[in-house]
Amino acid sequence: GAGVSQTPSNKVTEKGKYVELRCDPISGHTALYWYRQSLGQGPEFLIYFQGTGAADDSGLPNDRFFAVRPEGSVSTLKIQRTERGDSAVYLCASSLGVQETQYFGPGTRLLVL
Amino acid sequence: DQQVKQNSPSLSVQEGRISILNCDYTNSMFDYFLWYKKYPAEGPTFLISISSIKDKNEDGRFTVFLNKSAKHLSLHIVPSQPGDSAVYFCAASAASGTYKYIFGTGTRLKVLA
């Protein structure tokens, strides 16, 4: 079956701009997660959705970052007033339920110039 | 403060031999551990996991060993194949936040033909 998909695969933007990153989870997966992976590091947790609600957004670095999942399926990670330090690979994962193994998408590589 | 550590950034192994990747953790609340494999430009792919109630879990060529007293786990790949060349991430989670995976920085494995 289809895995987690993320669009775009690459995004280049200028400092100060707004970006949206999209995640399509595996069909039927109720839990969805966003992680960020900086160069030379492992993925770092950002936010977790159970259904439509953000159950834990403690990993979001500041209020420039926001994520939604309005219908309990597709999620969008939104970054306002981007900074060069936001450059990273943004990974989305989904799981059947919160206790289940997380399956990752290919990521969106964001470069802020 | 790195709660999950992979102290070897890289490892080279001859095809057919055993690959041993190591991971240490500091948080005694961690009770679930996973290994992911990552190829360039792809997202992490789940390999194998282990719960803290076990000390070994095996799946084909992959075996994970957990030593709770030493707060150490290892992934054994036998026999190693060139297609195993990738970056391997160790991850851990605690019962209080099972969805929040804490990742190590990864070990790049190169299997030489």
- Which residue among A4, A98, A104 sits closest to B99, beta carbon to beta carbon? A98
Distance CA B62, CA B37 (A): 12
Q: Kindly state whether B48 is in contact with chain A, defined as any CB-CB distance less than 8 angstroms.
A: no
Residues B25-83: tens digit of each pLDDT: 999 999 999 999 999 989 999 999 999 999 999 999 999 999 999 999 999 999 999 99
Determine the average pLDDT of the residues in A24-43. 94
pLDDT at B1: 74
Question: Which residues, at least 6 apart from B40, have a Cβ–Cβ distance to it below 8 Å?
Answer: none
Q: Is B99–A95 a contact, with Cβ atoms under 8 angstroms apart?
A: yes
pLDDT at B41: 86
pLDDT at A81: 97
On the question of pLDDT at A1 being above 60, the answer is: no
Answer for the pair B80, B19: CB distance below 8 angstroms, yes or no.
yes
pLDDT at A4: 96
Residues A50-109: tens digit of each pLDDT: 989 888 999 999 999 999 999 989 999 999 999 999 999 999 999 998 888 899 999 999
Please name the residues between 63 and 92 in chain A that touch chain B, using a CB distance below 8 Å. Answer: 91
Q: Kindly state whether B99 is in contact with chain A, defined as any CB-CB distance less than 8 angstroms.
A: yes
Amino acid identity, residue A10?
N
What are the distances in angstroms from CA B107 to CA A79, A87, B32, B58, B64?
30, 22, 20, 20, 15
Residue A72 gets the label, from left (phi > 0), alpha (psi -120 to 50) or beta, of left
Q: Which residue has the tokens 């929040």?
A: B100
Which residue from B minimizes the CA distance to A6? Answer: B43
pLDDT at B97: 64
